[in-house]
Structure 1
Amino acid sequence: MCGVSWGKGGSPRRVTWWAWLSYGVIVAEVVGGVALWFGDGWTFADGVQNFLVTDSLLAMTFALCGALVAWRRSHNPIGWLLLCGGAAHATTVLLVGLLSFGLVHGWTEPTLGVIVTAATASWPLGLRLFIPFALLLFPTGTLTRRFRPVAGLTVVIAVAFEWWSLITTSPYSVGGPPPYTGAFAIPVLEPIRPQLDLAAIVVPMLIDVVVLAVRYRDGDERQRRQMLWLMLAVLCAVPWAPFGISATSLQVLIFLQPVAMAIGLLRPQLFDIKLVVSRTLLYLLLSGAVVLLYSGVVLVFDLVLQSRLGDIGAALVALGVAIAFQPGRAWLQRGIDRLFYGDRGDPVRALRNLGDRLRRDPGSLDDLLTAVRESLRLPFAAFRLDGRETATSGQPGGRVEVLPLLSSDNGDVELVVGVRQGQSRLDPEDLRVLGVLVAPLAVAVRATVLSAELQASRQRLVSAREEERRRLRRDLHDGLGPTLSGLAFTTDAARNLVTVEPAGALELLGQLRAHANAAISEIRRLVDGLRPPAIDELGLVEALRQQADRLSYRAGGDPLRIVIDAPGGRLDLPAAVEVAAYRIVVEALTNAAKHSAADHARVQISVSDELRIEVADNGGSSSTAWAPGVGTASMAERAAEVDGWCRSGPSPGGGRVSARPPARCRGRTAARGLPVAHRRPRGDFPGELGVRDGKARDDAEVLCCHG
């Protein structure tokens, strides 16, 4: 029944059948042994003296917990080890029942000796081999290379104490003294039997405690929570220490271990185990400290001062202990909270740790989240942008708390932290520390994103420059190149005809003039594509007036009166801002001329810290938002390229376009990923198109500003 494979080849139904069949056999053994015992007239006190009650409790506890774990976690060997431990104790119960039955019915002493030997050899396998191995594998069920020597030592200790059980006098005393002994008993070793029996149980457990401590230190949040259940079982045994730990009392307390392992494997989030363990540990330490402090002071008076305390002295000592209780409790509470909850009780320490991590590696958002998660012992942390996690640390799962971090045009950045298993939400202490950490986290995120955006902008600038060079090369090669080649061929032909056929040469010279005009037009087209020449020749305002005059005459014959209200003279603006303003105003006027019934449009331009552009027409009011098109998107992109914004939409009198390019270049980009907190006025128009809408969000480029 204990030879079930926990590999992944068996079907779940077959594994379940084996688990519960094993449990049924163990229960049958216990019931049979108890029935034989009490059926032969032995009392409950006799059962306690012969460990029948102890072995029955251990067998049933191990079997039930093992069956549940093997049923729900069939690939984890811990459940099967618990079943084997239960089977070992159940076999002892059955054999002790047979022993009592044999005594009543007159079985021979050699037969009874064999039964006693088997009973004595059975139960140690549970406490000294199977259970220590289960603890050694807890909670993952795997044995790493570093713990293989410990597993070998556990086997050696189990074999040694198994041999010891066979050569010492049996503990079973049914039938009166002297007790029946095993076949290999050596009576001379009887005086030290109680001490070695206790050591046989305690030594493997101490080894497992060390292993579990190492696993707790190296484990993740879930594994630590699982191991805390075992720690709670140990703490529950501590109050029994003042009454002495005998083999019997320790065996009774051992039943908490399989219960703790079963809960840790099946329901580790049953409740906040960290809170329970921390409070239990705190009160046990406080109780022990109070007893030790009071006893120590009394002992000092008795031994050093050679006098005994009277009632007044005892009262003063008790008062001193009471005065020291609160500071001691606070100190212990801080230490235990730091062990289980990190730095949530010390925001300054958490802030300092975050600062140290920032100084070591300021560019990694994942490392930043790891610092926050480890500082508060949280299972998960992430930065989320518009519902999409952009940086994470830890394992997601369970409940989360969301804290706002940054708000900008590209989206809202939130800090998402996972709630510890067993908790429904974070404690106020956690939220208070996170509130302190939000400010430096926001600064760190902003700095990291700025760095990423700077790198992205450099890459886009290089790409834009190379793309522009490619376009110029294509235009020169495909447009101006053939024209100039034609000029050269025509010139050669004219030179060949000038002496033999002057009339043909004159005709070719006329064609040469036409080709030259075409080349000049192509060059002008290329230059106009780079930068409107009217801006350099006339200035921004006069260039706009020139373009407004051309747009005043519509194709349908209806005139459009355009008024430009702007400062006189040339405006002192960066070159990129001039081009952006020119393109925005021309596009807005073109839209008014083509797509509205307006007969009047007004352009207002003013300069302060930013260039204020307002283009309004009287094309009639509408409550319908403008559908985003190529023109409106182009205006938004032009403004975004120089770190400005542009809005367009209907107004009470007609249409309106507002733009705010900077008067001085600030140079930014709308990079992908996390945004930089950026000021942007909220819209005055329904359905406004912001600078981050559409393509501008992904493809805006930083343009170097000159002038």
Structure 2
Amino acid sequence: MRRLLWLGAVAGPVAVVAAFWFRYDLPPQYRTQQVFRPECVIGVTYPTVGAFLLSRRPGLVVGRLVWTIGLFAAGYWLSIPVSRWAVVHELPGAVLLRWAAKWAYIPEFLPLIMLVPLLFPDGRVPSRRWRPVLVLAVLLVVVNTVFLMLLPGEFGFGPYRHSNPFGVDAVAGFDGFYGRVIEPLTVGTTFLAISSLAVRFKAGDEIARRQIAWIAYPLLGTAVVGYSDLLWPDIPFWAFTTLTCTAVGTVPVALAVAVLRDRLYGIDVIVNRTLVYATLTVILGLVYFGLIAAVQHFVMSPAAGFAGALAVGALFQPVRKRVQRSVDSLLGLERDPYRLADRLSRTVQRTESPTEALRLGVKTARRALALTGAAVEIDGRILHSDGVLGDNPRAIPLVWHGEPIGRLLIEARGRSDHRLLGVLTRHVADLAHTVRLLRVSQENLISTREEERRRLGRDLHDGLGPTLASLALTVDAARIRLRSDPTSVEPSLVALRERMTSAMAEIRDLVHGLRPPALDAQGLTGAVQTLAADLPRPHVTVEADPIDLPSPIEVAAYRIVQEALTNITRHAQATSAAIRMTLTDTHLELVVSDDGRGLPKAPSSGLGLISMRERTSELGGTFTLASRPGHGTVLTARLPIG
């Protein structure tokens, strides 16, 4: 397959050169006046670029299209002088060659401006809604080609005139329909296909946008110049040829750069400036000529041009700022520090975790500032990066309340706005500090869990293990004395029973420290009701349906209720209390309220409150405590169940 690709890459230029040889081998009066056409450029460059793309990216649909279009163009350019040469020398099949030279430009021109934009860059249309446009484009290529193939009429040069050997008289009756319907539909479908690039541009990431920007300009120019004979019938041939050759010559270069390069040479700057100044030119041009027309119509003053110039000069700067702001918004750029801060804040608020917030914050800031790459480094390790960082990126310290917590690494194409970088650095520092705290918290949690496991193992080994070994020795001693002195065994068995009771109590304490047995026996609702019923005072009511939750949520909720009831019993002096547990799709809401004396004006956080807060925060929940002196206390814990 690769040999075939490069054979086509060689065949295209050879066919173009051969076409010049056949042209100059004809008598001067039979040579075409067209010494050079766009097909020369397409036939030389497109097969080579197509083969190069397919050698790097096998299966690339756009590469196959470009390779095929180039061969069709080379074949068409060769068919013109070869057919004339064959007619002059009266070779067999000369008429068929002349017939082919009449329509062979359609299969190379229309796919270039209709199929390539629809299928760039991944070989698929932007969405399902564009599939009918693709089908219509293919049908129009076929219809235009078949119409010219079957249209009856004469073609030739000088004394050599021939009728279409495959002409169908019925097709001639559709000539008016073709001019009124098919041609406008072809033009409209072409620009609709090119507009699909705008859809991809809006939905794509930064790399995709730059790829589309590279290819959109040449394709749009090719379409406009290619249809210039319809839009401007009197265009000079030299102007048509020059413009078309320039447009089609830039397509393969832009295509190769867009497909094979990721950095894309700062095309976003070109797009930005083009949109800004093109829009500015249109607006100010309308203002200028509109004022001139209005002044001359109503005042008939020779100062109309001067008035228009003054108006344009006064409007230039404010209009440019507004247009620049609109284009920046379209391209995702930001130049105002307050807007950048607002965009970062809104982006962070939509995330579910600090780590995700930091990642999206870096991505949003890089796109807003048009940076090539950005990354956050904490404790010497890069946590999140977006874009491409060079070998020597610029490092900006991240400082939170005077404490250095990391660095922001950026790669910019030019000079960066210090105001925007300052806003970016402050927001990223806040996010990085939160992520760092989260990492420290997770590490502490893991460390605490491992320490608890070691403590449990130590308690089992040093406490329960020796106790069980001692019990075994006592049993053995009693069994030995049972035959020789049975009366002395009973005191040993009584002591053994007491020690077994103590061992069971020790086991119960260990088990209760891991998971309350009441949860396994009664579930969370039943265990809470048992806790409430065991209190001598105050009277406690429980509102909850049977709830099935993950084990960590159940244990945390049970311990929080247990600690809350302990505090009410000891400190609240309440006559009644209420426990309400409500389960939603996202969280368990636990509310414990009483009618006691409430909290003092300056309450101190005891071990009970600290324990409840820690249990809630470990699960990512929220804990609040509300109280008014003499009106009781309301404790609310929201535990996520995701």
Counterparts in 2 of 1:125 and 1:96: CA distance versus 1, 3 Å: same
Alignment-mate amino acid for residue 83 of structure 2: L
The residue that corresponds to 2:395 in the other structure is: 402
2:320 to 317, 326, 329: 329
Counterparts in 2 of 1:394 and 1:264: CA distance versus 1, 3 Å: closer
Calculate the TM-score normalised by the size of structure 1: 0.57
Is residue 70 of structure 2 the alignment partner of residue 76 of structure 1?
no
2:360 to 364, 370, 376: 370
| Residue ranges of structure 1 left out of the alignment (5+ in a row) | 5-14, 420-424, 502-507, 513-663, 670-707
Alignment-mate amino acid for residue 140 of structure 2: I
* CA shift digits 1:13-67 (9 cap, x unpaired): xx1x32221022222222222222233245899433xx96232233223233323
Name whichever of 191-200 and 156-165 sits farther off. Answer: 191-200
The residue that corresponds to 2:521 in the other structure is: none
Counterparts in 2 of 1:54 and 1:238: CA distance versus 1, 3 Å: closer
Alignment-mate amino acid for residue 100 of structure 2: A
Alignment-mate amino acid for residue 203 of structure 2: D
Displacement of 1:439 in angstroms is: 1.5
* CA shift digits 1:157-199 (9 cap, x unpaired): 2112212323447897743899976742766666787887964
The residue that corresponds to 1:461 in the other structure is: 448
Alignment-mate amino acid for residue 343 of structure 2: N
Q: Give the SS at the match of 1:429.
A: coil
The residue that corresponds to 2:376 in the other structure is: 383
Q: Give the Cα separation in 2 of the matches to 1:43 and 1:333.
A: 57
Is residue 18 of structure 2 the alignment partner of residue 24 of structure 1?
no
Contact 1:113 1:183 in 2 (8 A): no
Q: Give the Cα separation in 1 of the matches to 2:391 and 2:224.
A: 35
Alignment-mate amino acid for residue 4 of structure 2: W
Contact 2:24 2:31 in 1 (8 A): no
Counterparts in 2 of 1:174 and 1:469: CA distance versus 1, 3 Å: same
The residue that corresponds to 2:43 in the other structure is: 59
Contact 2:41 2:248 in 1 (8 A): no
Contact 1:34 1:93 in 2 (8 A): no
The residue that corresponds to 2:333 in the other structure is: 342
* CA shift digits 1:67-90 (9 cap, x unpaired): 332343333232221121111122
Contact 1:293 1:321 in 2 (8 A): yes
Alignment-mate amino acid for residue 364 of structure 2: E
Q: Give the Cα separation in 1 of the matches to 2:487 and 2:110.
A: 122
The residue that corresponds to 1:471 in the other structure is: 458
Is residue 73 of structure 2 the alignment partner of residue 89 of structure 1?
yes
Displacement of 1:118 in angstroms is: 0.9
* CA shift digits 1:309-360 (9 cap, x unpaired): x4312111122112212222222223333333522x1221121121123333
* CA shift digits 1:494-522 (9 cap, x unpaired): 99999999xxxxxx9xxx9xxxxxxxxxx
The residue that corresponds to 1:639 in the other structure is: none
Q: Give the SS at the match of 2:140.
A: helix
The residue that corresponds to 2:347 in the other structure is: 357
Q: Give the Cα separation in 1 of the matches to 2:352 and 2:89.
A: 83
Is residue 130 of structure 2 the alignment partner of residue 140 of structure 1?
no
Q: Give the Cα separation in 2 of the matches to 1:379 and 1:166.
A: 52
2:192 to 199, 207, 211: 207
2:24 to 27, 35, 38: 38
Is residue 155 of structure 2 the alignment partner of residue 166 of structure 1?
no
CA RMSD of aligned residues (A): 4.8
Contact 1:88 1:122 in 2 (8 A): yes
Counterparts in 2 of 1:63 and 1:169: CA distance versus 1, 3 Å: farther
Alignment-mate amino acid for residue 23 of structure 1: A
Is residue 269 of structure 2 the alignment partner of residue 278 of structure 1?
no
Is residue 280 of structure 2 the alignment partner of residue 297 of structure 1?
no
Alignment-mate amino acid for residue 18 of structure 1: L
Counterparts in 2 of 1:354 and 1:166: CA distance versus 1, 3 Å: same
Q: Give the Cα separation in 2 of the matches to 1:403 and 1:268.
A: 25
Counterparts in 2 of 1:67 and 1:198: CA distance versus 1, 3 Å: farther
Q: Give the SS at the match of 1:428.
A: coil
Name whichever of 317-326 and 131-140 sits farther off. Answer: 131-140
Contact 1:376 1:430 in 2 (8 A): no
1:316 to 299, 307, 310: 307
Name whichever of 388-397 and 328-337 sits farther off. Answer: 388-397
Q: Give the SS at the match of 2:33.
A: helix
Alignment-mate amino acid for residue 140 of structure 1: D
Displacement of 1:223 in angstroms is: 2.2
Displacement of 1:430 in angstroms is: 5.4
Q: Give the Cα separation in 2 of the matches to 1:267 and 1:499.
A: 96
Q: Give the Cα separation in 1 of the matches to 2:486 and 2:221.
A: 121
Name whichever of 70-79 and 17-26 sits farther off. Answer: 70-79
The residue that corresponds to 1:446 in the other structure is: 433
Q: Give the SS at the match of 2:396.
A: strand
Contact 1:381 1:392 in 2 (8 A): yes
Q: Give the Cα separation in 2 of the matches to 1:89 and 1:381.
A: 45
Q: Give the SS at the match of 2:9.
A: helix
Contact 2:377 2:383 in 1 (8 A): yes
Q: Give the Cα separation in 2 of the matches to 1:171 and 1:495.
A: 131
Displacement of 1:258 in angstroms is: 2.6
Contact 1:70 1:79 in 2 (8 A): yes
The residue that corresponds to 2:597 in the other structure is: none
Contact 2:291 2:307 in 1 (8 A): no
Counterparts in 2 of 1:195 and 1:416: CA distance versus 1, 3 Å: farther
1:536-615 equivalent positions in 2, closer than 5 A = none
Query: 1 or 2, which has the higher helix percentage?
Result: 2
Q: Give the Cα separation in 1 of the matches to 2:402 and 2:324.
A: 45
Counterparts in 2 of 1:42 and 1:406: CA distance versus 1, 3 Å: farther
| Residue ranges of structure 2 left out of the alignment (5+ in a row) | 496-605, 615-642
Alignment-mate amino acid for residue 300 of structure 1: A
Is residue 95 of structure 2 the alignment partner of residue 98 of structure 1?
no
Is residue 203 of structure 2 the alignment partner of residue 218 of structure 1?
yes
Contact 1:32 1:97 in 2 (8 A): no
Aligned residues: 485
Displacement of 1:144 in angstroms is: 7.1
The residue that corresponds to 1:8 in the other structure is: none
Counting aligned pairs with the same residue, the percent is 22
Alignment-mate amino acid for residue 10 of structure 2: G
The residue that corresponds to 2:136 in the other structure is: 153
* CA shift digits 1:204-255 (9 cap, x unpaired): 4323323222222333332222111113325767997999556973744334
Q: Give the SS at the match of 2:263.
A: coil
The residue that corresponds to 1:128 in the other structure is: 110
Calculate the TM-score normalised by the size of structure 2: 0.63
Alignment-mate amino acid for residue 326 of structure 1: Q
Alignment-mate amino acid for residue 211 of structure 2: Q
Displacement of 1:286 in angstroms is: 2.5
Counterparts in 2 of 1:454 and 1:375: CA distance versus 1, 3 Å: closer
* CA shift digits 1:588-629 (9 cap, x unpaired): xxxxxxxxxxxxxxxxxxxxxxxxxxxxxxxxxxxxxxxxxx
Contact 1:132 1:204 in 2 (8 A): yes
